[in-house]
Amino acid sequence: MLPADVKPISVDDHVIEPPHLWQSRLPAAYRDRGPRVVELENGTEAWLYEDQVVQTVRGNTRTLPGFDDDPLGVARFSEMRPGCYEPKARLQDMDLDGIWAQVNFPDFSRFAGHRFVVSHDFDLALLCVRAYNDFILEE
């Protein structure tokens, strides 16, 4: 057991981007090509961005009680704890876990927004990175 005055800092956490992030922050002309959550034929959810389909891996989430927690499986937003993608709920989860601070990395965007480096439309890519950064700073 850690002494009571220890303030644990977690240095490898992931922010799951909320499903509304880009659809609410991109200019209307870019939303049809910007990242958005879609339901696939097999009933799972995935991000769709340009020609990329990317599913959120459960290993980067905390699931709600009653849902499969296979770290190699994929997760729907309805199965995740809101603290995975809502900043205020994340602070509540950190308090429950006794975590004083976190270093957070993006999930879909990848480290340093790397997902957008291979974009077909670099204007869209820049807008996506700005939208993510604004989300992190504002919310």
Please, are residues 34 and 127 in contact by the beta-carbon 8 Å criterion? yes
Task: Please report whether residue 47 resides in a domain.
Answer: yes
Would you say residue 114 lies in a domain? Answer: yes
Can you tell me the distance from the alpha carbon of 81 to that of 58, in angstroms, rounded to the nearest whole number? 11
* DSSP structure string for the chain: ---TT---EEEEEEEPPPTTHHHHHS-GGGTTTS-EEEE-TTS-EEEEETTEEEPPBGGGS-BPTTS---TTSB--GGGB-GGGT-HHHHHHHHHHHT--EEEEEESTT-GGGGGGGG-S-HHHHHHHHHHHHHHHHH-
Q: Tell me the sheet residues that pair with 63.
A: 80
Q: Is the dihedral of CA 78, 79, 85, 89 positive or negative?
A: positive
Residue 124 lies in a domain: yes
Quick check: is 5 in a domain?
no
Is 3 inside any structural domain? Answer: no
pLDDT tens digits, the chain, 139 residues: what are they? 778 888 999 998 888 899 999 999 999 999 999 999 999 998 889 999 998 999 876 655 665 555 555 656 777 888 888 998 999 999 999 998 889 999 999 989 998 899 999 999 999 999 999 999 999 999 8
Tell me whether residue 2 is in a domain.
no
Is 1 part of a structural domain of the chain?
no
| Number of domains comprising the chain | 1
Is 28 inside any structural domain?
yes
Q: What is the pLDDT of residue 69?
A: 59
Write down the pLDDT at residue 71. Answer: 59
Provide the domain limits for residue 104. 10-138
